[in-house]
Amino acid sequence: MKKIREELQQFGLAATHPRSVILRCLRERKDHPDAETVYQTVHQEIPSLSIDTVYRTLNLFASSGLIVHLAMPTHRFRFDGGVEPHDHFLCTTCEQIVDIEPEENDHQVFSEKVAALGQILSLQRVYLGTCHACKKAI
């Protein structure tokens, strides 16, 4: 928890207890939770925490660069506690999102055509498909 608090301070944010618990939740989970799921998890530890606070905190973290707001065609906004560049596989049936480690470090290389558009901050690549479990159920 000390590491989490230090991380918040490094990003210029006051390391309050709710923020620390929310950030720890994001760092521990690998399933790219939506705000509702984060709320369900942290609510057990801090019952007085409102869903509005969770939404605001997640957006604050995302705009600060502490977590990533995923650009995914899912019904709800999803968040990623892993900030190192990586790709994702999205099952369009169950909306499960799985990390894909890049084969090479090609996330920093942009074509001239892309670079001409402006300053590129990140590249989010998403593979859309159907996971094995959903494929079997069809």
Closest CA to 82 of 23, 134, 132, 42: 23
**Residues 93-112 as x/- pattern, contact with Zn ion by CB under 5 A:** ------x-------------
As a three-state string, the secondary structure of 113-135 is HHHCCCCCCCCCCEEEECCHHHH
Residues 68 to 87 in contact with Zn ion, rule: CB under 5 A: 80, 82
**Of 31 and 45, CB closest to Zn ion:** 31
Q: Does 34 bind Zn ion (CB under 5 A)?
A: no
Give dist(CA 77, CA 128) in Å, integer. 16
Yes or no: say if 27 and 4 are a contact pair by the CB < 8 Å rule: yes
Instruction: Tell me the closest approach of the beta carbon of residue 70 to Zn ion, in angstroms.
Output: 7
Q: For Zn ion, which stretch binds (CB under 5 A), given 46-54, 91-99, 110-118, 127-135?
A: 91-99
Residues of this chain that interact with Zn ion (CB under 5 A) are 80, 82, 99
